[in-house]
Amino acid sequence: VRTVVAGGRLESVAVTTHREDWPGRSLTDVPRQVVEKQSVSGIDALTGATQTSEGALNAVCNALRGAKK
């Protein structure tokens, strides 16, 4: 996951690598929601892609934790 933070705001989030055979929208929708909400809280998983959505959200959380160090 690549995150861009500028001026104290989350500017962009992108899933750069994954191991999904059929990722669908979850790998683009979850990052979009995070940027829109400026938070990882309250992000909805996509129906039928709950595990992929949660994996993407966890990756974003890890990236942001790493950025704070």
pLDDT band for 68, please (50, 70, 90 cuts): low
Q: Which residues touch 21 (CB under 8 Å, ≥6 apart)?
A: none
- Cα 63 to the center of its chain, rounded Å: 9
Predicted model pTM: 0.84
pLDDT in tens, 16-34: 988 887 767 888 999 999 9
pLDDT band for 2, please (50, 70, 90 cuts): very high
pLDDT in tens, 32-51: 999 999 999 999 888 888 99
Are 37 and 43 in contact by the 8 Å Cβ rule? The answer is yes
21 residue type, one letter: D
Alpha-carbon distance of 11 to 23, in angstroms, equals: 23
pLDDT at residue number 61: 92
Q: Which residues touch 23 (CB under 8 Å, ≥6 apart)?
A: 15, 49, 52
